[in-house]
C-alpha cells in the first residue's frame, strides 16, 4: 500500500482538501456520487432558470479565480497549509445553485486534469467542497443578512459563511473517514475540525477581501444599487 | 470597469497564477491530519497523470511549470464554465417557450 513516489510528490506540491482515492471506502464513494449527482442535476434545473446575461460571464470569471486561488496554499500553523475553497464566496455572488455548478466543475477538472483528488472519491469531494460549502454557506449568509443589512451585512455574512463552510467540509470529511473505517471519529473529528477552524479564518478573510473589491468596482454585481447611499440589498 | 469587466476579472485570475510558485509546500489540513493519524499511506496513486500536482510536464524549471499549469487550468476552467452556463441558459429558455 505504501508508495514512496506519493510522498515524493507531496514535497513538490501538497494535495489540498481534495481527498485521494483510498481514503474513503467504496460505499462512501458511491454514496458521494449519488448525493452529489442528485444535487448537481437539481442545481442545473434551478440555476438555468435564473441565469441572466450578466451571470454567465461572472460564473466563468469566478470559476477561473477560484481555481487559480486554490493553487495558493498559505501556511497556517505547525508546518500545515491551507487554501481557499471558495464555495461560500461563489454562493454569495452567484446564488447557491450556480455556485454548486461552478464548484463541481472546478473540483471535477482538478481531479481529471491535475490528479488533485481521486476519481473514485470525486463524488465525496464534490459533496464536501462543492455542495456543503455553497448550500451551507448560502444558508449562513442569508441568516446573517436577516439580522444585519447593507454593506456590513454582506461582509459579515460573507465571513461567517466562509468560516462555517470550511468547518462543515472538515467535519463531513471526518465523518466520511470514520464511515470508511479509515480513522476513528474521536481521532479524525477534533483533528480535522481544529486545523480547519484556523484555515476557515483565512477563507473568511479572502472572501471578505474579494467581496470588498467587487463592492468597490462593480457593486451592481452584488445586487447593490449603484448609489453609495443605498442600503436596500437583495443578495 | 465597463461592459468588458469580465475580461478584467479573467486577467486578475491569470495574475493570481503567477503567484503559485510562492505557495506553501507544507501539507494541507486534510493531509496533515492523515499523516499525524497514520492513514496517509491509504492514498492510492491516480490511474494516469496529465498535469499532476499542478506541475506542467516537460518544463525543467519548476516555477515555470507551476505557472504554466495554472494558466492552462484557469483557461480550461473558464472555458468549460462559460460553455456550461450558456448551454444551461439556452436550455432553460427553450423549455420556458415550449
The number of distinct structural domains making up chain B is 1
Question: What does the pLDDT profile of chain A (235 residues) look like in tens digits?
Answer: 333 333 333 333 333 478 999 999 999 999 999 999 999 999 999 998 888 777 899 999 999 999 999 999 999 877 889 999 999 999 999 999 999 999 999 999 999 999 999 999 999 999 999 999 999 999 999 999 999 999 999 999 999 999 999 999 999 999 999 999 999 999 999 999 998 999 999 999 999 999 999 999 888 888 777 655 444 444 4
User: Looking at chain B, which residue has its C-alpha nearest residue A101?
Assistant: B81
Name the grid cell of A126. Answer: 464534490
Q: Look at residue A3 in the predicted model and tell me its pLDDT.
A: 38
Using a CB–CB cutoff of 8 Å, tell me whether B53 touches chain A: yes
Interval B28-86: pLDDT, tens: 888 888 988 888 888 988 889 999 989 999 999 999 999 999 999 999 999 999 999 99
Asked if residue B28 is part of any domain, the answer here is no
Using a CB–CB cutoff of 8 Å, tell me whether B60 touches chain A: no
Instruction: Quote the minimal CA–CA distance from B47 to chain A in Å.
Output: 9
Residue B57 lies in domain: 1-23+50-98
ipTM above 0.90, yes or no: yes
Q: Look at residue A207 in the predicted model and tell me its pLDDT.
A: 97
Contact B43 A3 (CB under 8 A): yes
Q: How many CB pairs under 8 A join A and B?
A: 237
User: Looking at chain A, which residue has its C-alpha nearest residue B39?
Assistant: A182
Q: Which residues of B touch A56 (CB under 8 A)?
A: 82, 85-86, 89
Contact A101 B16 (CB under 8 A): no
Contact A217 B54 (CB under 8 A): no
Instruction: Quote the minimal CA–CA distance from A157 to chain B in Å.
Output: 23
Contact A105 B80 (CB under 8 A): yes
Contact A15 B28 (CB under 8 A): yes
Asked if residue B70 is part of any domain, the answer here is yes
Asked if residue B30 is part of any domain, the answer here is no
Asked if residue B87 is part of any domain, the answer here is yes
The ranges assigned to domains in chain A are 21-222
Q: Looking at domain A21-222, which CATH architecture does it have?
A: Orthogonal Bundle (1.10)
Q: Look at residue A227 in the predicted model and tell me its pLDDT.
A: 52
| For range B8-34, the mean pLDDT | 92
Q: Look at residue A230 in the predicted model and tell me its pLDDT.
A: 43
Q: Which residues of A touch B28 (CB under 8 A)?
A: 14-17, 73, 80-83, 199
Asked if residue B33 is part of any domain, the answer here is no
Contact B6 A57 (CB under 8 A): yes
CA atoms within 13 A on the CB side of A86: 28
Using a CB–CB cutoff of 8 Å, tell me whether B64 touches chain A: no
Among B residues 66-85, those touching chain A with beta carbons less than 8 Å apart: 66, 69-70, 73-82, 84-85
pTM (predicted TM-score): 0.90
Instruction: Quote the minimal CA–CA distance from B31 to chain A in Å.
Output: 7
Using a CB–CB cutoff of 8 Å, tell me whether B59 touches chain A: no
Q: Which residues of B touch A130 (CB under 8 A)?
A: none
Q: Look at residue A12 in the predicted model and tell me its pLDDT.
A: 30
Beta strands in chain A (DSSP E): 74-75, 81-82
Instruction: Quote the minimal CA–CA distance from B59 to chain A in Å.
Output: 14
Q: Look at residue A219 in the predicted model and tell me its pLDDT.
A: 87
Q: Which residues of A touch B82 (CB under 8 A)?
A: 56-57, 59-60
| Interhelix angle A87-94/A55-70, nearest 10 degrees | 170
Amino acid at each position: 500500500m505504501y508508495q514512496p513516489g506519493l510522498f515524493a510528490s507531496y514535497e513538490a506540491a501538497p494535495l489540498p482538501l481534495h481527498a485521494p482515492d483510498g481514503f474513503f471506502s467504496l460505499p462512501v464513494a458511491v454514496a458521494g456520487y449519488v448525493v452529489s449527482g442528485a444535487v448537481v442535476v437539481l442545481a442545473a434545473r434551478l440555476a438555468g432558470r435564473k441565469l441572466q446575461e450578466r451571470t454567465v460571464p461572472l460564473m466563468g470569471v469566478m470559476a477561473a479565480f477560484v481555481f487559480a486561488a486554490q493553487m495558493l496554499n498559505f501556511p497556517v500553523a505547525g508546518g500545515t497549509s491551507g487554501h481557499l475553497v471558495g464555495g461560500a464566496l461563489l454562493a454569495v455572488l452567484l446564488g447557491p445553485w450556480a455556485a454548486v455548478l461552478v464548484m463541481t466543475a472546478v473540483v471535477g477538472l482538478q481531479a481529471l486534469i491535475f490528479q488533485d483528488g481521486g476519481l473514485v472519491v470525486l463524488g465525496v469531494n464534490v459533496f464536501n467542497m462543492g455542495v456543503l460549502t455553497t448550500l451551507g454557506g448560502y444558508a449562513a449568509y442569508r441568516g446573517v443578512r436577516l439580522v444585519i443589512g447593507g454593506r456590513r451585512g454582506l461582509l459579515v455574512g460573507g465571513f461567517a459563511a466562509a468560516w462555517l463552510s470550511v468547518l462543515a467540509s472538515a467535519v463531513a470529511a471526518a465523518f466520511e473517514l470514520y464511515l470508511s473505517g479509515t480513522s476513528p471519529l474521536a481521532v479524525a473529528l477534533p483533528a480535522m475540525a481544529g486545523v480547519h477552524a484556523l484555515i476557515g479564518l483565512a477563507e473568511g478573510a479572502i472572501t471578505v477581501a474579494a467581496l470588498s473589491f467587487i463592492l468597490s468596482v462593480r457593486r451592481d454585481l452584488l445586487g447593490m444599487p449603484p448609489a453609495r447611499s443605498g442600503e436596500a440589498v437583495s443578495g | 470597469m465597463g461592459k468588458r469587466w469580465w475580461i478584467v476579472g479573467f486577467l486578475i485570475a491569470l495574475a493570481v497564477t503567477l503567484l503559485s510558485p510562492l505557495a506553501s509546500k507544507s501539507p494541507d489540513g486534510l493531509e496533515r491530519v492523515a499523516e499525524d493519524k497514520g492513514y496517509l499511506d491509504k492514498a492510492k496513486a491516480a490511474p494516469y497523470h496529465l498535469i499532476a500536482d499542478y506541475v506542467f510536464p516537460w518544463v525543467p524549471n519548476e516555477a515555470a511549470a507551476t505557472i504554466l499549469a495554472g494558466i492552462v487550468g484557469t483557461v480550461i476552467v473558464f472555458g468549460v464554465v462559460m460553455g456550461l452556463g450558456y448551454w444551461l441558459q439556452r436550455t432553460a429558455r427553450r423549455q420556458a417557450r415550449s
